Amino acid sequence: EVHLVESGGGLVQPGGSLRLSCQASGFVFGNHAMGWVRRAPGQEVEWVSHINSAGKRMYYQDSVKGRFTISRDNAKNMLYLQLNNLETEDTAMYYCAKCERPYYFDRTWFPGDYKTWGQGTQVTVSS
């Protein structure tokens, strides 16, 4: 059974940093692209970033480019999202997501390709 467990969220002031982690199990992690999505209160889910299985190709939503960094450690089955220079608009529940198809990656995020999510970790940016 696939499990994705996020951690690392919290309350931080504007300009602060957090590192989100996602521990994956139940599948061959190194064969699957992964991503991060978020949902702010009262808003639709939005894609944040995704990374191919080898960790060599990464794409970001424009609003987080230069501030967020996605990475992965296939030996540890871990996905990460480093959040720097946080803004109040980044407040949301953050979820890691697994690409359903192994060995597949597209630079464009298609939500239908990433249907398996974790339970989420809350990021709150407030002064």
Helix (H, G, I), strand (E, B) or coil at 90: helix
Query: Exposure of 90 by Cβ count < 10 A (0-12 exposed, 13-18 middle, 19+ buried)?
Result: buried
Least confident of 52-56, 61-65, 108-112, 114-118: 108-112
pLDDT at 63: 96
pLDDT digit string (tens) for 11-49?
999 999 999 999 999 999 999 999 999 999 899 999 999
| Coil/strand/helix, residue 79 | strand
Percent of the chain with pLDDT over 70: 100
pLDDT bin (cut points 50, 70, 90) of residue 127 is: very high
Cα angle for residues 12, 41, 125 (degrees, 5° grid): 10
